[in-house]
Amino acid sequence: MSVPASKKSSSAARRRRSHMHLDPVNTGLCEQCKKPVLSHRACGSCGFYKGRQVVDQSRDVKRTMKKATHTQDHDHDHEASEA
């Protein structure tokens, strides 16, 4: 394997790394709830896309409620010293 002939200057390294950055994500506003949404995707908070409901948000609420009640059943003690 070949080895670089000389050390890259700090300026050359910084020039190379000038392209290593993230671009800001383009968002629009939801027509229904006016929250920022990614284009071509249903709204994460109200589930609307192109003026109609495409994701049932009440289903998500039910699921989180079920999870919350399930964790409350967990009442036994665990061993504190496991090292």
Residues that bind Zn ion (CB under 5 A): 30, 32-33, 43, 46
Task: For residue 46, give Cα distances in angstroms to 32, 38, 51, 53, 62.
Answer: 7, 13, 11, 8, 15
Least CB distance to Zn ion at residue 43 (A): 3
> Among residues 13 and 33, whose Cβ is nearest to Zn ion?
33
Least CB distance to Zn ion at residue 51 (A): 11
Distance CA 16, CA 10 (A): 10
Least CB distance to Zn ion at residue 37 (A): 6
> Among residues 53 and 64, whose Cβ is nearest to Zn ion?
53
In eight-state DSSP terms, residue 42 is: -
Distance CA 13, CA 19 (A): 11
> Among residues 40 and 46, whose Cβ is nearest to Zn ion?
46
